[in-house]
Structure 1
Amino acid sequence: MTLVLFNKPYDVLSQFTDAKSPTPRATLSDYIEMPSVYPAGRLDRDSEGLLLLTDDGRLQARIADPRFKIAKTYLVQVEGEPDEAALEQLRRGVTLNDGPTLPAQARRIDTPDLWPRDPPVRFRKSVPDCWIEVAIREGRNRQVRRMTAAVGHPTLRLVRWQVGEWSLGDLTPGQWREG
């Protein structure tokens, strides 16, 4: 069994090919040349951080399938400064257009020591921002972004830091290691 921990850069698709696009976009094949591994779950093109890849179908299903409820932890830069009430909404679960989410773990954190994003997050003097840590146990499309927007704090930057027992550690964008 092979398990790869990859720090997916911003603007990279969580797939190996992009045959349907008329303009080429960066994919996993630009970084990983390892036959027979596939992503266990997805990470949006505009999100960064930990993406697990494996050649073990059972492990891939366990990681990606929401019924196994493996925690995924994100460092999230949001617009504004969420108060305790907004964080409590995330902790209870919020109702999205596709139904209520499971409760999340959510807390404010100090600005993490991360690599610079290219392109940088837009900065506005008149609108403060801050960082929160959010852990969810399901994985709907753009879920964390939709959750933070639902409580009035749109996501500016999203970095997946941990999936279950696996963590990004010291991997820089585009780096990978076998785990």
Structure 2
Amino acid sequence: MSNSGHRYFIINKPYNMVSQFISPDKVRLLGDLDFDFPEGTHAIGRLDNHSEGLLILTTNKKVTRLLFESEQPHKRTYLVMVKNIVSQETVEQLQKGVTIRIKGGVDWVTTPCQAEIVEKPAYIKPREQYPLKEFLPHSWLLITLTEGKYHQVRKMMSAIRHHCDRLIRVSIEDLELGDLPPGGVREIEETEFFRLLKIENWQPEASILPQ
């Protein structure tokens, strides 16, 4: 446990699990993972039910503000599997920005981003639940964003007329998913956690541990 008493975790959120501990619906929850999280643990920056990969969990309520509400944007990188073969011209469209529909029915041109066609990384295993027909034509893209509109990556894939079959967040700044298996949990020391996320304006709170 850190000097502040807070704890920090990353998980590899599996497909078909919501980023919550409580829900009125009959869905798979974070509490179904094989790990005893401390009281007060919550997710930072949700992944939707069908998305996979890096999700931060912590008992520190200040992290959301420091990470997602700061003036300094933080990079988030996703591996995306789409139907059919993506051309280099299409990748360049993504890099420059594409038009998506956001909340309120407003058209939004996405901020220029990093995007490239990649080979499927060796550490990305086929889904055990709801497997995909990977023998059919498809492409893998690596996309890094500094903004996070609702379902932005999926909407960007629709804008280039490629259906998103699989969406995996692999990093936030230098905090990486690595080879953590689906459903896996890794605890990270407080100072290292903030260093990897490139959050410089945090200060550990006075110790709340018994003296």
- With structure 1 as the length reference, what TM-score do the two structures score? 0.90
Match of 1:2 in 2: 7
Which digits, 9 at most, give the CA deviation of each residue in 1:70-96, with x for residues without a partner? 111111111121112111111111111
Aligned to 1:143: 152
- 1:150–1:67 Cα change, 3 Å: farther
Shift of 1:67: 4.6
In structure 1, list runs of 5 or more residues that go unmatched.
none
Task: Give me the CA root mean square deviation.
Answer: 1.6
Amino acid at match of 2:49: R
Tell me the residue number matched to 2:207: none
Q: Would you say 1:47 and 2:51 are equivalent positions? A: yes
Aligned to 2:29: 27
Check if 1:97 corresponds to 2:106: no
Structure 2 equivalent of residue 167 of structure 1: 176
Instruction: Give the direction of change, closer, same or farther, for the CA distance of 1:67–1:156 in structure 2 (3 Å limit).
Output: farther
Matches within 5 A, 1:116-135: 116-117=126-127, 118-122=129-133, 125=136, 128-135=137-144
Q: State the identity %.
A: 34
How far the C-alpha of 1:65 sits from its partner, in A, is 3.3
* Cα distance, 1:43 vs structure 2: 0.3
Range with greater deviation from structure 2 (89-98 or 61-70): 61-70
Superposition deviation, residue 62 in structure 1: 2.5
Aligned to 1:107: 116
Match in the other structure for 1:64: 68
Partner secondary structure for residue 165 of structure 2: strand
- TM-aligned CA deviation for residue 102 of structure 1: 1.2
**Structure 2 gaps, min length 5:** 1-5, 103-107, 189-211
Q: 1:172 to 1:123 in 2, by over 3 A?
A: closer
CA distance in 1, matches of 2:32, 2:83: 32
Higher Rg: 2
Tell me if 1:11 matches 2:1. no
Aligned-pair CA distance for 1:162:
0.4
Which residue type is aligned with residue 5 of structure 1?
Answer: I
Using a 3 Å threshold, how does the CA distance of structure 1 residues 17 and 164 change in structure 2: closer, same or farther? same
Are the counterparts in 2 of residues 40 and 61 from structure 1 also a CA contact under 8 Å?
no
Question: Aligned equivalents of 1:76 and 1:170: distance in 2?
Answer: 17
Q: Per the alignment, do residues 47 and 16 of structure 1 end up closer, same or farther by CA in structure 2, a change over 3 Å counting?
A: same
